[in-house]
Chain A
Amino acid sequence: MANDGDDGQSQDYLFKIVLIGDSSVGKSNLLARFARNEFYPNSKSTIGVEFQTQKLVIDGKEIKAQIWDTAGQERFRAVTSAYYRGAVGALLVYDISRRQTFDSVGRWLNELHNHSDMNVVTILVGNKTDLKHAREVSTAEGQALAEAQGLFFMETSALDSSNVAAAFQTVVKEIYSILSRKVFQSLEQKKSELQSLSSGKAVVLQGEANQTSSGGRWCCSS
């Protein structure tokens, strides 16, 4: 976690969240839409790593999400470990109009597991839902993969803003929830495995509504 649990009640929260996925799936535009409500039709490739700190309010608490956006890793490998280090959340993005980016999800999960805590809260994001006629990956396929891997799942469009804020909020909310439970248990002088804290299934959200996730599992290897 970004902060020690024992100090959670008195400190501001800063969560590091990483955006991962193939080149040109729209990671930078997801970040631009979420942080600045902007969209760049002709985005340039990200050089290395870029940052954006965004404030959210979860359960009345102000939480800072430090969102790390990077080139699709192939182009800038020097920061691989550093990129993931300390991350507590991840958005794994693919492009629904390019199947190859969906087929790469497994490799990105391996990358994430190799370089970070296995307990990173991860959401699978199928971006570019505005390209309806060019869709190559169905919603059901995305949902099935997310369930198999124990991930949250959402389909988004950075172009028309569909579900963008919801995707980030889902991750941040889950991180905060886990942290709160950890703080509570620390106060209760109890220890439990984090994996057993969550319950329910991966949540699949679609359409325009900003539905709130009621819970779900995060990335695990079992």
Chain B
Amino acid sequence: MTAQPMKRAIVESGDGGLGLGIATFIANGEDLGPIIRHSFESGKPEALMQNLRSIVKKKEVEIEELCRLHYEDFILAVDELRGVLVDADELKGMLYGENSHLQEASADQLLKLDELLELYSVKKNVGEAITTLKICVEVFSLCMTCNNFIAEAKFHPALKTLDLIQKGYLRNIPLKLVKKVVARQIPLIKLHIEKKVCSEFNDWLVHIRRMAKQIGQASISQASSARQKGEEMRARQREAEGHSHAGPDEHLYALDLENTEEESALHFDLTPVYRAHHMHTCLGMEDKFRDYYYKNRLMQLNLDMQISTSQPFLESHQPFLAQVAGFFIVEERVLRTADGLLLESQVETTWETAIGKITSILEEQFSRMRTASHLLLIKDYVTLLGAAVNKYGYRITQLIEVLEKSRDKYHQLLLLDCRKQIDDVLTNDSYEQMVIKKEYEYSMNVTAFHLEHDDAIPDFPYVTSFSSSVPDVCRIVRSFIEDSVSYLSYGGLMNIYDVVKAYLDRLLIEVLNDSLLNMIYARSLGMSQMMQLAGNISVLEQACGMYLLHSAQLCGIPKRVAERSHSGLTARAVLKASQNAVYNALINLTNFKVDEFMVLLEEVNWIAEEAPDNANDYMNEVLIYLETLVSTAQEILPLEALYKVVSGAMSHISDSIMTTLLNDGVKRFTVNAVLGIDIDLKTLEAFADDKFDSTGLSDLGKETTFRDCLVEIRQLTNLLLSSQPENFMNPVIRQRNYGSLDYKKLAIICEKYKDSADSLFGSLSNRNTPQQSARKKSMDVLKRRLKDFS
């Protein structure tokens, strides 16, 4: 079937121009609208209609021509088509048969195919399910891991797992229900972890508070051991200095095996703190935990700082201070190792607050204490506390200051205690020389205090120059020194020697010296006892050197340095002054005793008719007393004191006789009475000369002898017995022989002087010798001239 293209030229008739244009338009397939519209608008449509009918006719002619040409081909084509139709029917039958065969053969296969397709669908679904379940399995696996970690309290990996679930899987969980459940559980688990960790941390808080006391005690024990080692070292040095030993160093250092148990307390476990801190950091709650830690520890500290009221502070202070020390040792460890959990400023602020409260408690307790040893014991523990916490970097200035402030209080209590002891010792002393029978006694009472210059042990029984109060006082003073050094040691002072000396001076001056003066002025001691007291004071004054050396030794100052030092104790001068006071007391006591005997002067017969053959009774008594006095004093008193006492006694006797002659008790006396006084004086002067020589006083080069003390009464007696008493008015003779006599006294006494011629019936006597007459005249002259003077 082929269409034969025919090309014919169309001959145009009529409007050649318009028709050609329209035909071109139609051939080109262009739009004729505008042309048609133009035609109708211009009012000439007939021309256009005509042209169009022409074109139509032409076209119809062409079509008929074309149909006439192709008629034959058309008929042939139809015949050929009929043939094909038959072939097609034939083919159709064949296909139909084949199809039946195929259907029969493939029925089974078709069923299998359906199954296969179904299985593919199932496979796809299962694949999706498996993918979903795989994700879920991973999530669940992580959940189980997380649970295991939580069960084993491994919270950090649990938290890591939780994070992994949240960030890596949560959005991708295909099952909504599972997703919802997991999403809801994550914060709950985190909360659980936080509570668990907090619970563990709270348990740790309770545990560490209980442990704090042991930690503090262990640390303080270490400080104590270090101090003990230092003490032992210093003790060895003192021994070495004392022996001037230049041998090899015998210091052997032994391993310190005793403290292993104690040191284990210092290895406390901070793991719960680290864990809690880290967990809270992972949970994004570090600030919260930091705050929680700080507040809870602060509360614990406030509880620790409440001291027991049921127990005396003396017994509660050690656990109290150990508890606080332990607290701060733990805080220091946390600060160093817990990576920002604590700030240094926080620990310092807490420490300043705590130490302020401790010092406040100590001040209050110290102010209420009445026993020095209690103050000392607490001070020692406080200094150990200071040493322990200072090792961990805490400042202990306030502790040192509170101890410094209590120093005077402590020493006041010591002084009070010593005063009581010393008063007891002095009151209970018998003031008799000690008789030592055993070497042990000698060692305890003499050698221990270097009270004898000779270090050799004497034969026993041995009589000391002092009474029992002296070693007792030395013991008290030594204890005071030790207690003073104990308090001042390990405090803020580097050189405590000057302070110890100052307090020692106070003890010796305000306590010992005052007590001694009280004994001197109490009028409770007899003569021999007062002498012994004087001897004791002498020994105690010498003992000041021993006190200084002991103080220096305890303060760690070498002996040779202390010996070379020129600054001694003020107390030494004060005791020397007291020595003079006791000598004065001895003099007063002696004179008082002498007065008891001089009262007998009143019994002298001042108008005796005859000269006596022997000394008056009063003089005999005085001499017996003086004999005893000198023999006792010679054993106890130093020569200087002995001289003062006996000289005083002699002067007093002289004054007493003068006073008696001056008093109204004696109205008149005779030459015989004067002769009696002369005998008395000769006896006394003989005694004085003998004692002056026998006691060794003459060797001292004293210008005034005992006899010289009697010069006034001697000169008076000489004058009254002189054959020419008027010579007193001669300046040269007066200066030489009567220099001690006073005009007024002499006038009074001379008025009382009556010769026997003036007695009753005197004018009747004619027995006056020429010598007596001459003396009488001379005395009358003297009387008149003395009267003229007055």
How would residues 153 to 179 of chain A score, 1 for a CB under 8 Å from any chain B CB and 0 otherwise?
000000000000000000000000000
Complex contacts, B584 vs chain A, CB 8 Å: none
6 A-B pairs with CB atoms under 8 Å apart are: A44-B261, A47-B220, A48-B224, A82-B376, A86-B417, A113-B444
Distance in Å: Cβ of A67 to nearest Cβ of chain B: 11
Q: Is A152 an interface residue (CB 8 A)?
A: no
Tell me the minimal C-beta distance from B405 to chain A in angstroms: 19
Contact residues in B for A44 (Cβ distance below 8 Å):
221, 261-262
Report how far A42 CA is from B448 CA in the complex, Å: 39
Find chain B residues with CB under 8 A from A53 CB: 312, 315
* Binary interface encoding of chain B residues 479-509 relative to chain A, with 1 for a CB under 8 A from any of its CBs, else 0: 1001100100110000000000000000000
A115 to B486, CA, bound (A): 14
Interface residues of B (CB under 8 A from A): 217, 220-221, 224-225, 227-228, 231, 258, 261-262, 312, 314-315, 318, 371-373, 376-377, 380-381, 384, 417, 440-441, 444, 448, 475, 479, 482-483, 486, 489-490
Q: Which stretch, A72-80, A138-146, A200-208, touches the partner chain B?
A: A72-80
Tell whether, in the assembled complex, residue B224 and residue A80 are in contact, meaning their CB atoms are under 8 Å apart. no
A49 located at the interface, meaning its Cβ lies under 8 Å from any Cβ of chain B in the complex: yes
Residue of A49, A80, A81, A115 ringed by the most chain B CB atoms within 10 A: A81
Residues of A within 8 A of B376 (CB): 79, 82
- In the complex, what's the smallest C-beta–C-beta distance from A172 to chain B, in angstroms? 19
Contact yes or no, A221 B440, CB < 8 A: yes
**Contacts of A113 on B, CB cut-off 8 Å?**
444
How many A residues, CB 8 Å from partner?
A: 27
Cβ contact within 8 Å between B483 and A85: yes
Cα A80 to Cα B315 in complex, Å, equals 18
Does A100 count as interface, using CB distance less than 8 angstroms? no
Q: A85-B417, A113-B444 are in contact. Are A78 and B380 (CB under 8 A)?
A: yes
Residues of the A chain whose Cβ atoms lie less than 8 Å from the Cβ of B312 = 53
Q: Which of B318, B377, B441, B475 has the most CB of A within 10 A?
A: B377
Interface of chain A, main secondary structure: mixed
Q: How far is the CA of A76 from the CA of B224 in the complex (A)?
A: 8
Q: B225, A75: Cβ atoms under 8 Å?
A: yes
- Residues B221 and A77 in contact, CB atoms below 8 Å apart: no
Taking the nearest CB of chain A, how far is it from the CB of B375, in angstroms?
9
A114 close to B228 (CB less than 8 A): no
Q: Is the CB of A50 within 8 A of B380?
A: no
A102 contacts the other chain (CB 8 A): no
A104 to chain B minimum Cβ distance, whole angstroms, is: 17
In the assembled complex, how far is the CB of residue B337 from the closest CB belonging to chain A, in whole angstroms?
27
CB closest residue in chain A, given B371: A86
Residues of A contacting B448 with CB < 8 Å? 114
- Other A-B contacts than A53-B315, A82-B376, 8 sampled, CB-CB below 8 A, are A44-B261, A48-B318, A78-B490, A79-B377, A82-B486, A85-B417, A115-B475, A221-B440
Q: CA separation between A115 and B482, bound complex, in Å?
A: 10
Chain A residues near B314: list those with CB within 8 A: 51
By a CB distance below 8 angstroms, the chain A residues around B475 are 114-115
Given contacts A48-B377, A221-B441, contact A85 B220 (CB under 8 A): no
Q: How far is the CB of A122 from chain B (nearest CB, A)?
A: 16
Q: Which of A1-54 contact B (CB under 8 A)?
A: 42, 44-45, 47-53
Docked complex Cα distance between A110 and B443 (Å): 11
Q: Is the CB of B384 within 8 A of A85?
A: no
In the bound assembly, the distance between CA atoms of A185 and B126 in angstroms comes to 114
Cα-based distance from A115 to B479 in the complex (angstroms): 7
Shortest CB–CB separation between residue A31 and chain B, in angstroms? 12
CA distance A75 to B226 in the complex (A): 10
CB distance from B314 to the nearest CB of A (A): 6
Tell me if B444 and A82 are in contact (CB < 8 A). Answer: no
CA distance A53 to B316 in the complex (A): 12
- Residues on B with C-beta less than 8 A from A45 are 221, 258
Chain A contacts for B380, CB-based, 8 A? 48, 78-79
